[in-house]
Copies of this chain bind each other. A is one copy, B any other.
Amino acid sequence: MRKVFQAELHQIGEQLIEISQLVANAMDKATIAFETADTELAQDVIAADARIDFLQNDLDERAIDILALQGPVASDLRMIVGALRMSASLERMGDLARHVAQLARLRYPDHVIPTAIRPTFEEMAQLDQQIAKKVNELLETRNLELSNEIYAHNARINELHAGVFKAIASPEWDVSAPITVDVTLASRYFERFADHGVSVARKVTYLVTGEWQPSAPLI
């Protein structure tokens, strides 16, 4: 019985890793689609999001079955409840990658982001890609050094996000209102993606150390 239970717990962990891998792929592709106005790649991301949603639902059902059938306690229980939370964050990260891809598709053949502000978005996108990869690695290795790197990337993204609004408010900003909307939404999507990455990192850190960190960046 105990052996079956451990195998089931392990499977939950594996499925979280799998979802986080799909999220990292989605953000990689969404970024390329976004930066190169590649509508086919955007379509791939949009289609692939259904798989993430399916895996999240499946993981949640398994987790609830374990709760019902095994009545786990202590750290096993925390792990399962944590997995439910993390799967929700990962699913949301998948949605946000999809939103980025949808913007690319909507504006095709144009680029979403005006030239002047493109470097800011490139850095944001790169940081989000790294966050997604580090979340995946963190779930696999539980190396908490990665959590700190995720928090640092998130802090930088918050700066860049604020920088976008400064650029929009500057007298040099001369793009159309609909493009201003796209820039605003894209910046918000990249920023929220990082927030959810932080949320997963905090949860893993909590599961490993048993200590909640109210001083860590808030989600």
A-side residues, CB < 8 A to B, are 64, 67-68, 71, 73-74, 77-78, 81, 84-85, 88, 165, 168-169, 173, 175, 177-178, 180-181, 184-185, 188
Q: Which of chain B's residues has its CB closest to A178's CB? A: B169
Are B77 and A68 neighbours in the complex by a CB distance under 8 Å? yes
Which chain B residues lie closer than 8 Å to A165 at the CB level? Answer: 178, 181
- Least CB distance from A218 to B in Å reads 9
- Least CB distance from A33 to B in Å reads 21
What's the number of copies of this chain in the assembled complex?
A: 2
Which chain B residues lie closer than 8 Å to A78 at the CB level? Answer: 64
Measured in the bound complex, the distance between the Cα atoms of B116 and A177 in whole Å is 15
Instruction: Knowing A84-B81, A180-B180 are in contact, say whether A68-B64 is a contact too (CB < 8 A).
Output: no
Measured in the bound complex, the distance between the Cα atoms of B84 and A78 in whole Å is 13
The prevalent SS among residues of A at the interface is helix
Q: Which of chain B's residues has its CB closest to A181's CB? A: B184
Q: Looking at the complex, which one of B64, B84, B177 makes contact with A180 (CB distance below 8 Å)? A: B177
Which chain B residues lie closer than 8 Å to A74 at the CB level? Answer: 68
Q: Which of chain B's residues has its CB closest to A76's CB? A: B68
- Least CB distance from A76 to B in Å reads 10
Q: Which of chain B's residues has its CB closest to A69's CB? A: B73
